[in-house]
Each structure stands twice: as structure tokens, then as C-alpha cells.
Amino acid sequence: MTQPDTSNNVLISQSVAILIDGNNIERSIHSETNKQNTMLNFDTLVPRLLGNRGLNRLVYFREGKQISTKLQERLHANYHGSVRPCHKSADIPLSIKATQLSNKVDAIIIMSGDSDFVELVRHLKAEGVRVEIAAVPATTSRLLTDEADYFHEITSNDWFTLETKKPARKKSGKSDT
């Protein structure tokens, strides 16, 4: 009797937090497309980032008060995620949350290309957390990707552009004859 081949049946039991620097990612995508109405497609991106690992937390940090209610509702409904408004930059709130989560998760994915996160990545790795960066390559700091355990490229496959509605033409009382 032969034993079944289980070499390809590896069970990965990793808990992952995804922390998103919303302004940084939005600016990166808009600079790639030259369109302000381009948005991340979380429905394809999040599963790709996770692979076969479990999602512990998803937090979208966004500077300013204009945060889409649809985005908040969608992230909560699909990923039990939350959107956190930030007074200024997302750097400090995201760093605090990452540090708070470092003993609760196996890996943290930081969605940002900002070199300001290099020291955070070093700290998290020293705490034993796997740190991955997900960002648009053209706008991502090489220092950041070199420091991280893994780099996920965010490409045009990961975003979509909302079609802008053209204003309806007003009918004039004149005929075309």
C-alpha cells in the first residue's frame, strides 16, 4: 500500500492585517492614469494580496473629511474593514495601528509606496512580523521595497475607472430645420 502524496497540500495558517495609506495609493493610481476617477478594485486585489492566508483586519486611512460612504460600506460589508479619517497624513495613525497589531498578526501588508514607512517596517520585522508592501511600482520608494519581506505590485489590473456621466443636452425650443 502506498502513501498518498501530500507534498502539495500545505496548510498556511497566517493571520494578515492590511493597512492602507489611502491618499498615497490614490495619488499613485491617479498619476498612472491621469484620471481622478480611478479607484482600486478591492474585490480582486485583497484576495490576491492574501493568497491562502486569513484576513485579520483591513483599515483604510484617509486624510481629510471627504470619505466616500460607498467605500466605507463596501469595505465593511466585504472585509469587516474600516475607514479611518486622519487629521493630516496617514503616516502616524497607520504606524500606531501597525504597532498595536504587531503581536496579534503574523503579517502586515502596508499599501503605500512612501519611504516614511521604512522605520516602521524595520520595527515590525524586529518584532517578528512579516511585512509586505503593496504599491504602484513607479511611485514606490526603493528603500521601502528593499526593507520589506515582499513587494506586491499594484498594476492596472487592480484598478478601474468610473465613467463620468455626460451632462444631458438641453432641448431648445428651436427646430433643426
What is the CATH classification number for the domain harbouring 42? 3.40.50.1010
pLDDT band with cut points at 50, 70 and 90 for residue 65: low
Check residue 71 and give its pLDDT: 87
Nearest Cα to 159, choosing from 9, 25, 63? 25
Check residue 3 and give its pLDDT: 60
* Share of residues in the chain with pLDDT > 90 (%): 69
Query: What CA–CA distance (Å, rounded) separates 5 from 163?
Result: 50
Q: Reduced to 3 states, what is the DSSP secondary structure of residue 85?
A: strand
Task: Let me know if residue 3 belongs to a domain.
Answer: no
Task: Let me know if residue 165 belongs to a domain.
Answer: no
Task: Let me know if residue 126 belongs to a domain.
Answer: yes
Task: Let me know if residue 10 belongs to a domain.
Answer: no
Task: Let me know if residue 4 belongs to a domain.
Answer: no
Instruction: Look at residue 30 and tell me whether its pLDDT is greater than 80.
Output: yes
The domain tally of the chain equals 1
Check residue 169 and give its pLDDT: 61
Cβ count within 10 A of residue 132 = 19
Mean pLDDT, the chain, whole residue set: 89
Query: What CA–CA distance (Å, rounded) separates 48 from 54?
Result: 12
Instruction: Look at residue 22 and tell me whether its pLDDT is greater than 70.
Output: yes
Higher pLDDT, 161 or 112: 112
Task: Let me know if residue 64 belongs to a domain.
Answer: yes
User: What is the grid cell recorded at 136?
Assistant: 504602484
Task: Let me know if residue 1 belongs to a domain.
Answer: no
Task: Let me know if residue 83 belongs to a domain.
Answer: yes
Query: What CA–CA distance (Å, rounded) separates 92 from 171?
Result: 53
Instruction: Name the pTM for this structure.
Output: 0.85
Q: Are 107 and 132 contacting, i.e. CB atoms less than 8 angstroms apart? A: yes
Question: Could you report the per-residue pLDDT of 121-175, keeping only the tens digit for each?
Answer: 999 999 999 999 999 999 999 999 999 999 999 999 999 988 776 665 655 555 5
Domain residues for the domain of 62 are: 15-159
Query: What CA–CA distance (Å, rounded) separates 75 from 164?
Result: 23
Question: Could you report the per-residue pLDDT of 75-105, keeping only the tens digit for each?
Answer: 999 999 999 998 888 999 999 999 999 999 9
Q: Are 138 and 112 contacting, i.e. CB atoms less than 8 angstroms apart? A: no
